[in-house]
Amino acid sequence: MKRAELVFIPSPGMSHLVSTLEFAKRLLDRDDRLSITVLVINSPFAPATNHSLVQSIAASDTRVRFIHLPQVHPPPKELFFVSVEKFVADFVESHKAHVKDAIINHVLSASLPLGGLVVDMFCASMIDVAHELGVRSYVFFTGNAAFFGFMLYLPTRHDQVGMEFRDQTDPESVIPSYVNTVPPGALPSLAFSKEGGYISMVNHGRKFKEADGIIINTFYELESHAVSSFVEDEIPPVYTVGPMIDLKGKTPSGNDQAKHQEIMKWLDDQPPLSVVFLCFGSWGSFGESQLKEIALGLEQSGHRFLWSVRLASKDDMPTDAQNLEEILPPGFLERTKGIGMICGWAPQVEVLAHVAIGGFVSHCGWNSILESLWHGVPIATWPIYAEQQTNAFQMVKDLGLAVELKLDYRVGSGELVMAEEIEKAVKSLMEADSEVRKRVKEMSEKSRKAVIEGGSSYASLGRLTEVMIANNI
């Protein structure tokens, strides 16, 4: 029986690591002819976090082998805060020699033939290592197909224009992977970055075309327009294998376990579809003025709520807010007692799966979008950073699967979203028989069908595994 070893190279970001490992397990569940080794690039800021996640995965699934790469000196921390894309690109690039050594010394020396490298979307420079070793390479794109199309568009545009976007002075962009023309305000911040973020993404877009395949965490029924736009001869084969989500979520421990039990018990006491859930990701946070507006908007909406509050701090690392009675409007906590719950950390996957949840005010990270669609929970869009503006634009304008709260908000802009806007969006989001809610329910059913036998993603994954096993050294 022909077998193959795959080497996965995820980026050090937690959400990327989780998605990559979920995909690795999905591959192994699908075809026992595959073996997988993951080369771990440790986080430059919190290596212990990556270690603990890897240890838990290794303990629960012995089929995946992990090799921790040597720690390297990261770029200056100041670069991270002006251009996270440039920081990550430089940090990953500095690991190329370690990646090549690990493959030569620990993978090629093993008995199984090497079927290829599976590199994260931010590890495109590792395609060079695949070329040097004479093996195939596949990009695992943890974002959506439309944003992958945006990445392919960047080099073409750059060859014509030769510079980054110019914010509101640019015209709307005709990007083939989006149904509608995309206004400048809906583009990610990296598109305007003069500190290296823009050109880093241009380089990634060029590199993607050198891969032997593109694996995207989406499903055809959700992004049929974007997937159908990939018809150019120079684009590698695209495999849609999603939704690739961790339905179990993170196992809470210590203080988080007590919080988890408290949150779930509170939800158990709420009527079905009555609670709006507000959560903005691990990096999502707001200043005190914005928190006050959110509180007023929620109270004026009249709906029950579960609100994950994260406060912006001086070093940009979000923290759980303390002394909420001093931050939120006077009397808010007393007036909303019984109909609202405020927490810091929240078990997002389990919350979205709960029958009490009727809507989700989200930062529109792609994993969060896939989780909400899977569970049939409509979103009100409030993007903050990364590619979340384009995600929000696509969900509202192209797909009609979300309610617009904001499309062009971005952290650090100084913009204050007022209580009236929040109230209006929450009321629209929680409408029982809205067109958006109906469309989301239909897409939920399609997402579940996509990954089972006979589904589009199931078939796409099957084609991918055959290619991986057939082409090895």
Asked if CATH classification 3.40.630.30 holds for the domain at 255-447, the reply, yes or no, is no
DSSP 396: I
Q: Please name the residue ranges forming H helices in 182-281.
A: 197-208, 224-228, 255-268
**pLDDT greater than 60 at residue 2:** yes
Q: Are residues 178 and 398 in contact, defined by beta-carbon separation less than 8 angstroms?
A: yes
State pLDDT tens for residues 29-44. Answer: 999 999 999 999 988 8
**pLDDT greater than 80 at residue 168:** no
State pLDDT tens for residues 92-129. Answer: 999 999 999 999 999 987 778 899 999 999 999 999 99
Q: What is the average per-residue pLDDT within 48-61?
A: 67
How many residues make up the chain in this entry? Answer: 473
Q: Are residues 311 and 321 in contact, defined by beta-carbon separation less than 8 angstroms?
A: yes
Predicted pLDDT at 473: 55
Q: Are residues 243 and 217 in contact, defined by beta-carbon separation less than 8 angstroms?
A: yes
Question: Which tokens in the block code for residue 30?
Answer: 């699908």
Q: Is the peptide bond before 243 cis (omega within 30 degrees of 0)?
A: yes
Q: How confident is the model at residue 414 (pLDDT cuts 50, 70, 90)?
A: confident
In the chain, CATH 3.40.50.2000 sits at 4-242+451-470, 255-447
Between β-strands 310-311 and 319-320, what pairing exists: parallel, antiparallel or unpaired?
antiparallel
State pLDDT tens for residues 260-270. Answer: 999 999 999 99
Using a 10 angstrom Cβ sphere, with 0-12 exposed, 13-18 middle and 19 or more buried, the burial of residue 362 is: buried
Predicted pLDDT at 49: 58
Q: What is the average per-residue pLDDT within 354-371?
A: 97
Q: How confident is the model at residue 252 (pLDDT cuts 50, 70, 90)?
A: low
- Least confident span in 117-126, 169-178, 188-197, 308-317: 308-317
Question: Which range among 12-16, 172-176, 315-319, 468-472 has the greatest average pLDDT?
Answer: 172-176
**pLDDT greater than 70 at residue 220:** yes
Q: Are residues 437 and 426 in contact, defined by beta-carbon separation less than 8 angstroms?
A: no
What is the Cα 189 distance to its own chain's centre? 16
CA distance 186 to 167: 10
* Residue 401, CA distances (Å) to 423, 442, 449 in order: 19, 10, 18
For residue 212, the tally of other CB atoms under 10 A from its CB is 18
Predicted pLDDT at 374: 98
Question: Which tokens in the block code for residue 2?
Answer: 């022909």
What is the three-class DSSP state of 64?
strand
Q: What is the average per-residue pLDDT within 5-22?
A: 87
CA distance 171 to 64: 47
Q: How confident is the model at residue 46 (pLDDT cuts 50, 70, 90)?
A: low
Q: At what angle do helices 14-30 and 456-470 cross, to 10 degrees?
A: 80
What is the three-class DSSP state of 371?
helix
CA distance 121 to 138: 10
pLDDT above 70 covers a percentage of the chain that reads 93
**pLDDT greater than 90 at residue 345:** no
**pLDDT greater than 90 at residue 179:** yes
Q: What is the average per-residue pLDDT within 277-304?
A: 93
* Residue 15, CA distances (Å) to 49, 295, 348 in order: 12, 28, 13
Instruction: List, in sequence order, every residue forming a beta bridge with 118; answer none if it has no partner.
Output: 8, 138
Q: What CATH number was assigned to the domain covering residues 4-242+451-470?
A: 3.40.50.2000
State pLDDT tens for residues 298-310. Answer: 999 999 999 999 8
Predicted pLDDT at 231: 80
Using a 10 angstrom Cβ sphere, with 0-12 exposed, 13-18 middle and 19 or more buried, the burial of residue 252 is: middle
Q: Are residues 181 and 173 in contact, defined by beta-carbon separation less than 8 angstroms?
A: yes
